[in-house]
Amino acid sequence: MQKALMYMTARDGIPPLGMSEKVELVFRDDDSKSFFAEACLLKLKIPTVHNDFESFHQAFMIAIQFGCTGFGAA
């Protein structure tokens, strides 16, 4: 859960007073199978081309595993 939050918001936890904005989910209308997070805008772009939950889940796990270095991280 923490990696997913880091991927979508570049934050390693929920602030004590909560999030001032909600993460916006945007469904992609292209042929890409990749997830794309705009952490500064709190926007997660979700692909719609996966044929089953397993491939969707696998793509999301890859995105959060390899795409969440965090704000200012190299």
Residue 26's domain spans which residues? 2-66
Structural domain contains residue 71: no
b/e code 28-43 from CB counts within 10 Å (16+ = b): eeeeeeebebebeebe
Three-class SS of the chain:
CHHHHHHHHCCCCCCCCCCCCCCEEEECCCCCCCCEEEHHHCEEEECCCCCCHHHHHHHHHHHHHHCCCCCCCC
Question: What is the predicted pLDDT for the residue at 65?
Answer: 86
As for how many domains the chain has, the answer is 1
Structural domain contains residue 73: no
Could you tell me the two tokens for 60? 């999301």
Structural domain contains residue 74: no
What distance lies between CA 47 and its chain's CA centroid?
11
Residues 17-68 have pLDDT tens digits of 888 888 899 999 899 888 988 888 889 999 999 999 999 999 999 988 887 5
